[in-house]
Structure 1
Amino acid sequence: MARYLPLARPWFGLVAAVALLGVLVQLIGTATAGPALTPTFPTRGAQVANVFAYFTILSNLLVGVVHVALAIRPERTSTLWRVLVLDAAVAIAVTGIVYNLVLAPLVHLTGIHEVATVLCHMVTPVLAVLGWLLFGPRGLTSVRVVLLTAVYPVAWLAFTLVRGAVIAWYPYPFVDVVALGYGRVAINCVVVAVLFLGLGFGALALDRRLPGVRTDPA
């Protein structure tokens, strides 16, 4: 059974709504006021589809889906669920950290794109991480779960590098092999991987020390 704190479910619902709203605003912005068309992305439809190549968008979608499920019924204990919950928290934290420390100075957006960026890179990460710290759910994290969370970023990276080699386009400057070369990109990826796993093991250390929705094994 899951033991709720009074504000847990409303908070999970709020996080889901903000995360999914950010993705929706980004899709609308790309469809209506996207960047100039290029041979790589010759139509608005291609640009909209390409939005899902961004780790930020995928992580916000993951946060949205996981938090909808948390708001409805958090007392799941399968390995996949444990990994998804931790992946959502860690991936969105990495999204916020990398964007605000590395990418923000390179980006100058206005209008609907600025709104989407604030939602996806700032508001959702803060709400999701704060929600995990306050409400959990607890009791789902283990060393095995932390290691399994690495499957998501590794899979994204493999897809990004293979796709980038084919179409000569990369979603972020730090994985741009054309500009940086594979050596520098590999170093950048190791730094992000250390951050990802570091946050995962930090979550493991905090899991049993913080209040929240406690999910006990059936």
Structure 2
Amino acid sequence: MERSRLGRYWHLVTFVVAVVAVVLQFAVILRGHTIIDTDVAAAPLGEQVRRFFCYFTIQSNILCAVATGIIVFRRTEGPLFRVLRLASLIGITVTGIVAAIALQPSPSYTASQLLCDRLLHIAVPVLVVVGWVAFGPRGYVGRADVLPALAWPVVWVVATLGLRPVTGWVPYPFLNPDRVGVGGVVVACVVITALFLALAALIVWADPRLRANGREPVTS
């Protein structure tokens, strides 16, 4: 099988897994279960839905689904895809790293909760990163895309912390000053920011070097 076709199939599988993971997690939330936040089940339905879309994990998986869908359907031209591609790569990599370090699944998870957790935090990150390394497409990320791509996580952090005094809720325990203290939240934000910047620099540096023959969309 030629490389471009194999790459397209890989991205198609990634797209399907990301969509299924998000939809399944949404169904689990609506059934009154949760992955991280023990207060979700007690919240009104509208608040459950709002909180669901506030999770960085959910947002990064959605961005990956959109980005890989664009690749599969051959709509990769234009600056919007460049920014989306870089943002999704950074976001899903951070999701996988943070989940491995700070968000271990609870032993009390049901089968559906554990499945969602593993799809969102392991399967999609691995598929996206391996797909980028092995198949590209190349030439769609550059230095000019870094600041626009990082605007999303910056806005997410500011909105998450800014809304806490109003809602009394944050999506992750390491951003909750009641659990880790204000200093702990500051340290977490600094570490995550450094991780974002390091990953952005690594991706921009590595992308043209993974295959020296330049722009090589897998769908061409």
TM-score, length of structure 1 as denominator length: 0.88
User: SS where residue 104 of structure 1 aligns?
Assistant: coil
Equivalent residue runs for 1:1-218 within 5 Å: 5-34=4-33, 42-78=43-79, 80-104=80-104, 108-211=108-211, 214=216
Q: Give distance in 2, aligned partners of 1:18 and 1:55.
A: 17
User: SS where residue 209 of structure 1 aligns?
Assistant: helix
> How big is each residue's C-alpha offset from its partner over 1:91-147, in whole Å with a ceiling of 9 and x where there is no partner?
001000100111116674222111110100000000011001111121122222123
Kept in 1: contact 2:33–2:40 (CA 8 A): no
Kept in 1: contact 2:51–2:171 (CA 8 A): no
Q: Give distance in 1, aligned partners of 2:53 and 2:42.
A: 13
RMSD: 2.3
Q: Give distance in 2, aligned partners of 1:127 and 1:75.
A: 19
1:154, distance to aligned residue in structure 2 (A)? 0.6
Q: Give distance in 1, aligned partners of 2:39 and 2:181.
A: 23
How many aligned residue pairs are there? 211
Structure 1, unmatched stretches of 5+, are none
CA distance 1:16–1:102, shift in 2 (3 Å): same
Q: Give distance in 1, aligned partners of 2:85 and 2:40.
A: 38
Q: Give distance in 1, aligned partners of 2:54 and 2:40.
A: 17
1:162, distance to aligned residue in structure 2 (A)? 1.4
1:84, distance to aligned residue in structure 2 (A)? 0.5
User: SS where residue 210 of structure 2 aligns?
Assistant: coil
Kept in 1: contact 2:105–2:117 (CA 8 A): no
Structure 2, unmatched stretches of 5+, are none
User: SS where residue 73 of structure 1 aligns?
Assistant: coil
Q: Give distance in 2, aligned partners of 1:66 and 1:110.
A: 30
Q: 168-177 or 41-50: which moved more?
A: 41-50
CA distance 1:64–1:177, shift in 2 (3 Å): same
Counterpart amino acid of residue 56 in structure 2 = F
User: SS where residue 5 of structure 1 aligns?
Assistant: helix
TM-score, length of structure 2 as denominator length: 0.87
Counterpart amino acid of residue 13 in structure 1 = L
CA distance 1:154–1:106, shift in 2 (3 Å): farther
1:19, distance to aligned residue in structure 2 (A)? 0.6
Q: Give distance in 1, aligned partners of 2:108 and 2:195.
A: 26
Kept in 1: contact 2:83–2:145 (CA 8 A): yes
Q: 203-212 or 61-70: which moved more?
A: 203-212
Q: 118-127 or 170-179: which moved more?
A: 170-179
1:159, distance to aligned residue in structure 2 (A)? 1.1
1:21, distance to aligned residue in structure 2 (A)? 0.6
Kept in 1: contact 2:82–2:140 (CA 8 A): yes
